[in-house]
Structure formats: structure tokens, C-alpha cells
Structure 1
Amino acid sequence: MKVLVPVKRVIDYNVKVRVKADGSGVDLANVKMSMNPFDEIAVEEAIRLKEAGVATEIVAVSIGVKQSQETLRTALAMGADRAILIVATDDVHTDIEPLAVAKLLAAVVREEEPGLVLCGKQAIDNDMNATGQMLSALLGWSQATFASEVKIDGAHAHVTREVDGGLQTIKVKLPAIVSVDLRLNEPRYASLPNIMKAKKKPLDEKTPADYGVDITPRLSVLKTAEPAERAAGIKVGSVDELVAKLKEAGAV
């Protein structure tokens, strides 16, 4: 079974994000970029499926700027077999919208014919949490979101999902789209020998035009601003005073 794993280049999760002075967006100058953490978990799960003899090939896909090659090379160093980069923009500040990404991934899926698509539940830069669901709708495939455990059993996948009330286990028919959550696994570090080998693994470059997909944005960002600073708290001398304060604030 072939497994397709979409990965996205985002600001490293350890970096403190800063907004441009003019409010036009996030400042990316000299900022460390890395693979979206949820996508990294998806790559790790695909590798584990291959190590277990379930998957036969892992294809990593990224959509964005040419610099996303670095992200794909990381996936290849971890253990993916080959990669596809769809160069959709030259501007690092341009974020391709989820529907356009889903349409491009759907075209790749039809071409590659994988048995499973493993993707991160969301990207940490825009927190959309929509691409996997859109891709499922476009393909008419089964979907399982927020996966904390994935088991393949013949023509089906048993997926344990994290829901508000706890955990839910569902059975979906393959081929399927599975979006992964943080508790699924802990991604491995790429070893130096594998990093060197990754440089020789195939990485194909495509464009949206190759797939006949229009990626014209439907949304426009009017303004970007820092989160409001948290207001200072106050001290109270007794429970009665606390209740009175809460009543004043309308919390009781």
C-alpha cells in the first residue's frame, strides 16, 4: 500500500512570532522555518506502517514556495521514499488556502493512487484544520480526524480519535484520509547518514498548472495584530469580597 503524506513549511514552533510594524502580516525575515509538527507526526506514522510491512512506499508532498524543498528533504531523511513539490508561489508570505491545497492534493492522489493519506490535523501557522476534510470531500473517501492511534486491518483502518468526551474508535474503509493528533507518536530524529541519503532521493517539482488547478485566493487579510496583553489581576481579602467582585464582573 502506498501512503501519501502532505507536509507544510511553517515557522518553527520554538520561534516567537512577531507581527510587522505596518500590520500587513507576520515578519519572516531571518526566521527559522521547519516542518509543521503535526505533519512530522504523520510522516513518522507512515514510516512505522512501512516498518510493520503494511506500507510499501511513502510519498511526501508539499505545496508552497521553492524553499519547501528543505521540508521535503527532512521527510526523506526521516524515511519517506520520494517527494513531490508543487511550487505555488514565489512569496514566502503567501499562504495557499486550504481549498486550493485540497484540490492540488486530490489531483496528486488521482495520479499516485495511494491507499492512505496521512496528514497533520492542522498547520500551526493558520490553524485552519480544514484541508484533510476538504480532501476527503473532493475524493469521496472515508475520513478519520484527530487520530491518536491508527491500525490497518486488511481493507479497513481502525482509528482512535480524540474527542471532547474522551476517546472514540471508528472503523473506516480504505482508501481513506486520516488526520493525526499530537498523541499518535513521537517523531524520530533524522540521522546524519539518512540526511545524506535524502539528497539522492527523487524530488519532483510541479506547478498548479500541471494539475489544472486554479489557486487564486478567495480571502484577503485586512490586518494582522499581536494578541491583546492580559490584564493584571487583583487581590481580595475574603471570600465575600471575591463573590462581590465576581458579581460586579457578571461572572456569577
Structure 2
Amino acid sequence: MRNRSLFTVLAGAALLPALAIPALATDAPTDDRRDATTYQARLDPVPHHPQADGGSDVSGHATLVEVDGELKVEVRAYGLSPLLPHLMHIHGELEAQNECPGPQFRKGGVSDRLIETVDGLPSYGPIQVTFSTEGDTSPAAALSLGTAPVADADGKLAYQRVLLDVPNDVLDELGDLHIVIHGSDLDGDGMYDATPLTALGAPLEAELPVACGQLEDGDGQARGHGQGQGQGQGHDHGKGHHHG
């Protein structure tokens, strides 16, 4: 019953009709097309205290290809809470320094040993794009669990979609932005508990960041600001999730 009520709270009002998802256009005149630009991100664990996050060790890789204002997104992640939806976003403050949060961001909120979404905002910035499976991809859909990708029974997630409505200013700044994956079944009971609620008004388990990675352009370089000292390097325990 907790799962059902959680989906009602987070997803019910946010579900919108699905967008059509055509393949990347190939028949436009050559002189009207821009060159395709590829961005990649290695996703590393958000460095929560290992005794607080159950040994979460989420990793993965994301590839984004931008051409003619369309953004093809592919994400593969491992070590996620099995059979549960995982919110995914592009985070970042446009024209500002952005980085994944380090352990010093464990402060405030529900637990001083966890880095909640709001705790990490000074580091990786606000949500710019939502990686939903259908419908809205704007920040308004950020907490819509009903359209979030779902991990399989082994905690693996494969996501692919062409996004048509990404704002031009976000496309122009992709090399300075980040991808963040959320969601951790902290107590291993197979569901996201409805409480406690975080500063976002969302259940902690559903919105907890678990992996983060900076987008880099095709030559492997982050544009503009580079990495700062707040960059998270993951856990030092090397353990994955343990679900009973």
C-alpha cells in the first residue's frame, strides 16, 4: 500500500500524454543541419556514509548525442535497487561551475550521513531535464515516478529516448552539466517508503541521489569550468546493495 500511495503522491498529477519519439532526422538538407555533438558521462556513486546508504555502489555510463535540437539519450547503470523506478535528470546551473558533490555535502535534512537532492544542489545545480520514459521531460516531471525508468531484478537499468523539447540554452551548456540518478531502497524491503519526507516534500528513498557524472564532449573534455575539489569519488568500501 505504501508504494501505491507514493506513486499517487509523486506521479499522479505529473503524467502527461506521451510525446512521439521519431528517429533522429536524416533527410534534412545538409546545409541546414548542424554537426552531431556527442557527450558522455561516467556515473559514480554519490558518497553517502556507507552505514547510512546500505552500501550503495551505483555506477554507469551515459551517452548523449545532440543534432538539430534533438537529444538522443542512452544511459546504462548498475547496482540500483531492483524492480524500482529511478528518477534521472540533467542537473546544472547554466554558465556556472558544476560538480558532483563530495562527502562534505552530508549535512542537514533527514540525515547528516546522506546527501539529499537539496543538499547537493550547491554542487550539481538544479534540474534542467528529466529522463522520463514517456511524456514530459521538463523539470516539472522531476518527481514523476510513474514515468521513471525501472531497474531490472539484478539492479540494472537501460534507458534510451530521443528528447525533442530540451531548451536551446541547456543544449548549448551540456558540456558543463551533470547526470544524476536517484532512488535507494535503504531498508531493503523492496519498496520506497512513504516517509520520511525531504525538503522537496518527497519520500527520502525515492529522491535520494545515488550516482552522478559530469558530461564531457566527444574529446573527453568538460567544457568551461572543469572539476572542482567537491567532486565525489564514490565509496571506499566497494560493496553493492544487499536486499533481503
Structure-1-length-normalised TM-score: 0.22
Structure with higher Rg: it is 1
Higher RCO, 1 vs 2 (CA within 8 Å, ≥6 residues apart): 2
More strand by share: 1
Structure-2-length-normalised TM-score: 0.23
